[in-house]
Amino acid sequence: MDVSKPAPSLLDKNHFALRRVHSLLGIVPIGLFLVNHMLANSTAFLGASHFNHHIGLIHDLPWLLWIEVLFIFLPLAFHGILGVVIALEARYNQNRYPYMDNWRYTLQRVTAYITIAFIAVHMLHYRFAHWFGIAANYGDAHHAAGGFYGFTIEGFQSGLLGLPTWVWIVIYAIGLAAAVYHFCNGIVTFCITWGIVIGDESRKRLSLAAGALGVLMLVWGVVSIYALATVDPETITDDSVETHTAYVIEAPPGSS
């Protein structure tokens, strides 16, 4: 605010735009991606064949790497890095002023850190584990026994890093809860920031709706995790893998 300051830096010059972009990215595409990701994962309920089919659809998208980089990795990196910068500005005081909204403020930042850590674990776990030779290459997942389904449940159940399944469940449950909270509370702060809701009443209504969404997503996600983590790999039939390939109409040559 000091007018006597020298010419502002590029970051300062675009301060407002950066913050608004940060706020937007949290919803689109990151939030949407989260919903989509959980949606896809939840097909695990329907059995290996559905799961493999849906994941396969995504997996077989053309220019997948570009899509991932442009619409997931970069937005996530931007949101995460600027988010940490923003979170570092906070001087938490929820112990002194224990209002619910103040707790939400603090939790929004705490869950941000947790989510970042979880995403790192999650990525290492399924995306880059082969770098360390502890799991198969994600790119070849559909060749794994049981296809994507088999690959996914193996991540939970193979005692990776010497961790038993229940630990992985807990890690994923915490990560999921953090991400869901951050997203749903983020919907509220997004709406305030952009001026979509203004008054106390509308903010309360929105908070309730976002809370309901959060509970739904959490339950939904936990059940998915539990399903994936506890299914017996032996029950997966080759059938399910077949089912997947059968649905791939325009599969590139050699993909099966």
User: Which residues contribute to the site for other proteins (CB under 8 A)?
Assistant: 1, 3, 8, 12, 15-17, 19-20, 86, 89-93, 96-97, 99, 101-102, 104-106, 188-189, 192-200, 203
Half-sphere exposure of 152 (CA within 13 A, CB side): 26
For the CB of residue 3, give the shortest distance to other proteins in the complex, in Å.
Answer: 7
For the CB of residue 131, give the shortest distance to other proteins in the complex, in Å.
Answer: 37
Nearer CB in complex with other proteins: 157/193: 193
CA distance linking residue 144 with residue 151, whole number of Å: 6
Distances (CA, A) of 136 to 155, 157, 174, 198, 239: 9, 14, 25, 50, 21
Sign of the dihedral through C-alpha 147, 148, 151, 154: negative
Q: Which of 20-40 are b and which e, b meaning 16 or more Cβ less than 10 Å from the residue's Cβ?
A: eebbbbbbebbbeebeeebeb
Distances (CA, A) of 138 to 2, 77, 118, 144: 51, 21, 18, 9
Nearer CB in complex with other proteins: 134/197: 197
Nearby residues of 225 by Cβ (< 8 Å), 6 or more positions away? 169, 172, 173, 176
Nearer CB in complex with other proteins: 59/79: 79
Q: Give the single-character DSSP code of 130.
A: G
CA distance linking residue 176 with residue 184, whole number of Å: 12
For the CB of residue 30, give the shortest distance to other proteins in the complex, in Å.
Answer: 18
For the CB of residue 97, give the shortest distance to other proteins in the complex, in Å.
Answer: 5
For the CB of residue 27, give the shortest distance to other proteins in the complex, in Å.
Answer: 14
Nearer CB in complex with other proteins: 11/57: 11
For the CB of residue 221, give the shortest distance to other proteins in the complex, in Å.
Answer: 25
Nearer CB in complex with other proteins: 199/253: 199
Nearer CB in complex with other proteins: 146/214: 214
CA distance linking residue 98 with residue 95, whole number of Å: 5
